[in-house]
């Protein structure tokens, strides 16, 4: 057919091949596995591989393979039953040096992974696991910041010797009252030098005083709120990583909520404890008279000192006395050194902490000072059949730097890479400023239900699709079969795009796929009906095909665009299930436009246009 440009055939063919390739990984079901990752200085190597194999053999747990992937090890099992036994065995055998977690290993062939083709991750409703929704109490952080500005203003006024009647909290800001307007003006310029975060308003008090209201600027408040969420997300990520969950989802939802989804985790209580851990910070002096390596080997530590470890396993010996603790830390942010341009972390202490820090640094320039990050996690252990509630405390040194000069309120930690600076500032903040979080929603989804859902959903979709394909083929004959091919590729392309983008497949998502396929069917029905109409009106077969496509173009586009508007609205406004539905529908609609208009036209043109002889009838 001359009116169908050749390049479009290539586009259609390319889309079909890519669709097949990128949808393919989804037929490879992931295999139950156990993931072993090292803690501290433990190593994943051939020795461990041998040990794991003997441990499993001893416990008579059959495994399929043990592979090392970078710094973690995967042990694959035939089914989930054996997988559970295996993880229990290994957890006992390997102890605290390794984190043993249930995982699903991909069985997708390497050549597919090499071209970036992945299987769609399955949602919690399909895979099982726990879902938490946490509400972050931003007000607590705001109150803390407000208090900080109050302390700042008071000490600034004292330092500059500006007389004032009172300084107190008021609404979202701080109110200071002066005897004269002159004092007030002086105060404004003095405070403004220290910080640019505040906006000032003047007023008179009923008692005749001159009041100054310093409010935190909205932009600063917004930054503060966003920072609070980001920081809580990071804290949660660290804690979830400690749980060893395979593919956790931790993301912000709305303004002040965080969603945590842990696939495969069944023990809500354990997960909840991990998420609800409390973190604090302590600054300790380093003891230069002790060799930490030696102390770690012999266990000989002076009575005033304690042996700590850094995250990479390096031992550090610190004095027991605390210089400054986390609640005295006001702010920590990563930035760049003004002079050298190197990454650094800026720390601000409150006045009490600043006084002690000044005291300490005056006497200890050139020595080291360590920051200990302490996390307390409630734990339940079963001892002699009884539940015993204990707490598990992990203490890690996150930084041990040389004191370069005397400092008090504000100081910088330098000599870090940009990544290290980011991490340190986040850890400092999560140990001091983290906003309290409440779990407002939790769901446990059993994997049995998940598997059942998948099986039933798969069966229902395959059956529904088969019935519709059959009906279309019977009713529209050759054109029905062409429409069927397009419909199948519509599904393939949809799955391929979802896999590429990384959309998580959920039950509402499956519903979205079905609706998108319905739209594609409708488009094909519209085209076929139009062609029939044209034939009845006496047009030649070729002309009927051409006018059929032309005349149904506008209605198909209109219908698809209206649906797309709906889908995009659901995607952007809706939450959770509604959103998932919207995303799938939107992708499906765009693909349906392509398969219904371009793909079927290409196939039809190929069938009917190639023949030299004139077409007498159309099989529609």
Partner 1 sequence: MEIFRHDLNINFLGMRKVSIVISAICLIVSVWAIAIRGLNYGLDFTGGVLVQVSYERPVDIGEARSALMKAGFEHAMVQSVGGTREISIRLQLPKNRDKKESPDKLAGAISKEVLSALQVGHPGAKLAQAPDFVGPEVGAQLKQSGIYAVIVVIIGIMIYLGMRFEKRFAVAALASEIHDTVITLGVIALVQREFDMTVLASILAVVGYSINDKVVVFDRVRELFRLTRKARTPDILNRAINNTLSRTIITSSFTAIAMASLYLFGGPAVHGFAITMLIGILVGTLSSIFFASPLLMWLGVSKKDLMPVTRENPELARRP
Q: Nearer to partner 1 by C-beta: 447 or 609?
A: 447
- In the complex, least distance from residue 478 CB atom to partner 1, rounded to whole angstroms: 12
By CB under 8 A, residue 41 contacts partner 1: no
From the number of C-beta atoms within 10 Å of its C-beta (0-12, 13-18, 19+), residue 305 rates as: buried
Answer yes or no: are the C-beta atoms of 615 and 535 closer than 8 Å.
no
- In the complex, least distance from residue 276 CB atom to partner 1, rounded to whole angstroms: 13
By CB under 8 A, residue 519 contacts partner 1: yes
By CB under 8 A, residue 444 contacts partner 1: yes
Q: Nearer to partner 1 by C-beta: 46 or 269?
A: 269
By CB under 8 A, residue 422 contacts partner 1: no
- In the complex, least distance from residue 546 CB atom to partner 1, rounded to whole angstroms: 12
Taking CB under 8 A as the binding criterion, the range among 59-67, 197-205, 399-407, 458-466 that sits at the site for partner 1 is 458-466
Using the CB atoms, write b or e for 475-493: b if 16+ within 10 Å: ebeebbbbbbbbbebbbbb
Question: Taking CB under 8 A as the rule, which mask of x and - marks residues 468-497 in contact with partner 1?
Answer: x--xx-xxxx--------------------
Q: Nearer to partner 1 by C-beta: 151 or 533?
A: 533
Separation of alpha carbons 468 and 517, rounded Å: 10
Any idea which residue has 């906006």 for tokens?
199
Among 46, 114, 269, 382, binds partner 1 (CB under 8 A): 269
Among 517, 531, 597, 602, binds partner 1 (CB under 8 A): 517
Q: Nearer to partner 1 by C-beta: 149 or 476?
A: 476
**Residue 398 region, left (φ>0) first, then alpha (ψ -120 to 50), else beta?**
alpha
- In the complex, least distance from residue 216 CB atom to partner 1, rounded to whole angstroms: 27
Among 18, 108, 355, 525, binds partner 1 (CB under 8 A): 525
- In the complex, least distance from residue 515 CB atom to partner 1, rounded to whole angstroms: 5
Edge-to-edge order in the sheet of strand 198-204: 166-170, 173-178, 210-216, 198-204
By CB under 8 A, residue 185 contacts partner 1: no
- In the complex, least distance from residue 138 CB atom to partner 1, rounded to whole angstroms: 16
By CB under 8 A, residue 75 contacts partner 1: no
Show the tokens assigned to 596: 């219904």
Separation of alpha carbons 345 and 333, rounded Å: 6
Among 325, 368, 522, 539, binds partner 1 (CB under 8 A): 522
**Residue 495 region, left (φ>0) first, then alpha (ψ -120 to 50), else beta?**
alpha
- In the complex, least distance from residue 494 CB atom to partner 1, rounded to whole angstroms: 15
By CB under 8 A, residue 390 contacts partner 1: no
Question: Taking CB under 8 A as the rule, which mask of x and - marks residues 299-318 in contact with partner 1?
Answer: --------------------
- Quick one: which of 347, 391, 336, 337 has its CA closest to 369? 347
Taking CB under 8 A as the binding criterion, the range among 56-64, 366-374, 403-411, 522-530 that sits at the site for partner 1 is 522-530
By CB under 8 A, residue 91 contacts partner 1: no
Q: Nearer to partner 1 by C-beta: 50 or 455?
A: 455
Taking CB under 8 A as the binding criterion, the range among 36-44, 368-376, 423-431, 515-523 that sits at the site for partner 1 is 515-523
By CB under 8 A, residue 122 contacts partner 1: no
Site for partner 1 in 325-384 (CB under 8 A): none
Answer yes or no: are the C-beta atoms of 451 and 124 closer than 8 Å.
no
Among 30, 408, 457, 609, binds partner 1 (CB under 8 A): 457
Among 358, 515, 607, 615, binds partner 1 (CB under 8 A): 515
Q: Nearer to partner 1 by C-beta: 225 or 606?
A: 225
Separation of alpha carbons 159 and 271, rounded Å: 49
Q: Nearer to partner 1 by C-beta: 169 or 573?
A: 573
Dihedral, 307, 271, 236, 91 alpha carbons, nearest 10: 50
Among 14, 113, 467, 501, binds partner 1 (CB under 8 A): 467
* DSSP string of 361-376, one letter each residue: HHH-TTSEEEEEEEEE
Show the tokens assigned to 141: 């952080």
Long-range residue pairs from 243-252, CB within 8 A, at least 24 positions apart, any chain: 243/101, 243/270, 243/271, 243/274, 244/35, 244/37, 244/99, 244/100, 244/101, 245/101, 246/35, 246/101, 246/102, 246/103, 246/104, 247/121, 249/504
Separation of alpha carbons 335 and 425, rounded Å: 9
By CB under 8 A, residue 34 contacts partner 1: no
Taking CB under 8 A as the binding criterion, the range among 172-180, 219-227, 291-299, 504-512 that sits at the site for partner 1 is 504-512
By CB under 8 A, residue 252 contacts partner 1: no
Residue 559, φ and ψ in degrees, nearest 5? -65, -40
- In the complex, least distance from residue 518 CB atom to partner 1, rounded to whole angstroms: 4
Q: Nearer to partner 1 by C-beta: 238 or 442?
A: 442
Q: Which residues contact 294 (CB under 8 A, 6 or more apart)?
A: 300
Site for partner 1 in 124-153 (CB under 8 A): 125, 133
Q: Nearer to partner 1 by C-beta: 173 or 450?
A: 450
In angstroms, the first-to-last Cα distance of the chain is 18
How many Cα atoms occupy the beta-carbon half-sphere of 528 within 13 Å? Answer: 23
- Quick one: which of 386, 128, 372, 392 has its CA closest to 276? 392
By CB under 8 A, residue 388 contacts partner 1: no
Any idea which residue has 């496509």 for tokens?
549
Among 200, 309, 553, 594, binds partner 1 (CB under 8 A): 553
Site for partner 1 in 555-614 (CB under 8 A): 555, 558-559, 561-563, 565-570, 572-578, 581, 585
SS3 of 244-285: CCCCCEEEEECCCEEEEEEECCCCHHHHHHHHCCEEEEEEEE
- In the complex, least distance from residue 390 CB atom to partner 1, rounded to whole angstroms: 17
Q: Nearer to partner 1 by C-beta: 2 or 554?
A: 554
Answer yes or no: are the C-beta atoms of 337 and 414 closer than 8 Å.
yes
By CB under 8 A, residue 437 contacts partner 1: no
Q: Nearer to partner 1 by C-beta: 369 or 567?
A: 567
| Number of residues near partner 1 (by CB under 8 A) | 76
By CB under 8 A, residue 217 contacts partner 1: no
In degrees, rounded to 5, the angle at the alpha carbon of residue 274 between the alpha carbons of residues 322 and 307 is 30
């Amino acid at each position: 057919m001359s009116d169908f440009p050749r390049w479009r055939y290539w586009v259609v063919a390319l889309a079909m091949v890519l669709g097949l390739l990128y949808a393919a990984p989804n037929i490879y079901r992931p295999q139950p596995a156990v993931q072993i990752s090292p803690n501290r200085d433990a190593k994943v190597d051939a020795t461990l591989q041998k040990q794991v194999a003997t441990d499993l053999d001893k416990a008579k747990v059959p495994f399929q393979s043990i592979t090392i992937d970078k710094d973690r090890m995967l042990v694959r099992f035939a089914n989930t039953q054996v997988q559970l036994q295996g993880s229990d065995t290994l957890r006992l055998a390997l102890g605290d040096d390794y984190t043993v977690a249930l995982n699903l290993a991909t069985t997708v062939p390497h050549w597919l992974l090499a071209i970036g083709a992945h299987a769609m991750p399955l949602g919690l409703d399909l895979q099982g696991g726990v879902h938490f929704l946490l509400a972050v109490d931003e007000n607590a952080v705001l109150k803390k910041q407000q208090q900080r500005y109050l302390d700042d203003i008071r000490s600034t006024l004292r330092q500059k010797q500006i007389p004032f009647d009172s300084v107190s909290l008021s609404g979202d800001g701080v109110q200071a009252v002066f005897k004269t307007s002159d004092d007030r003006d002086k105060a404004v310029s003095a405070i403004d030098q220290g910080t640019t975060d505040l906006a000032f308003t003047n007023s008179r008090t009923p008692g005749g005083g001159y009041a100054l209201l310093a409010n935190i600027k909205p932009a600063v408040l917004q930054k503060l709120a966003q920072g609070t969420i980001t920081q809580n997300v990071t804290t949660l990520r660290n804690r979830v990583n400690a749980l060893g969950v395979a593919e956790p989802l931790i993301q912000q939802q709305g303004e002040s909520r965080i969603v945590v989804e842990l696939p495969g985790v069944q023990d809500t209580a354990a997960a909840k404890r991990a998420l609800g851990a409390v973190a604090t910070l302590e600054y300790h002096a380093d003891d230069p008279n002790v060799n930490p390596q030696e102390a770690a080997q012999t266990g000989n530590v002076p009575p005033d000192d304690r042996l700590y470890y850094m995250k990479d396993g390096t031992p550090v010996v610190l004095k027991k006395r605390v210089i400054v603790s986390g609640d005295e830390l006001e702010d920590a942010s990563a930035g760049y050194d003004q002079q050298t341009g190197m990454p650094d972390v800026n720390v601000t202490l409150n006045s009490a902490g600043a006084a002690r820090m000044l005291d300490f640094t005056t006497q200890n320039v050139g020595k080291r000072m360590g920051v200990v990050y302490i996390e307390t996690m409630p734990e339940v252990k079963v001892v002699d059949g009884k539940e015993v509630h204990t707490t598990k405390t992990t203490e890690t040194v996150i930084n041990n730097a040389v004191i370069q000069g005397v400092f008090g309120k504000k100081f910088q930690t330098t000599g870090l890479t940009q990544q290290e600076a980011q991490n340190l500032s986040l850890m400092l903040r999560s140990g001091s400023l983290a906003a309290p979080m409440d779990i407002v929603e939790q769901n446990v989804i059993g994997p049995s239900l998940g598997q059942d859902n998948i099986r039933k959903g798969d069966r229902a979709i395959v059956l529904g699709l088969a019935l519709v394909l059959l009906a279309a083929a019977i009713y529209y004959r050759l054109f029905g079969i062409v429409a069927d091919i397009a419909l199948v590729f519509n599904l393939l392309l949809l799955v391929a795009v979802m896999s590429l983008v990384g959309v998580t497949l959920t039950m509402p998502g499956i519903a979205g796929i079905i609706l998108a396929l319905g739209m594609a069917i409708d488009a094909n029905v519209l085209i076929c009906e139009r062609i029939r109409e044209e034939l009845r009106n006496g047009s030649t077969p070729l002309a009927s095909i051409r006018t059929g496509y032309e005349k149904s173009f506008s209605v198909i586009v209109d219908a698809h665009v209206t649906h797309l508007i709906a889908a995009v609205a659901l995607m952007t406004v809706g939450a959770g299930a509604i959103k998932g539905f919207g995303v799938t529908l939107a992708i499906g609609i765009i693909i349906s436009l392509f398969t219904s208009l371009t793909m079927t036209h290409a196939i039809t043109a190929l069938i009917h246009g190639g023949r030299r002889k004139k077409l007498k009838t159309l099989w529609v």
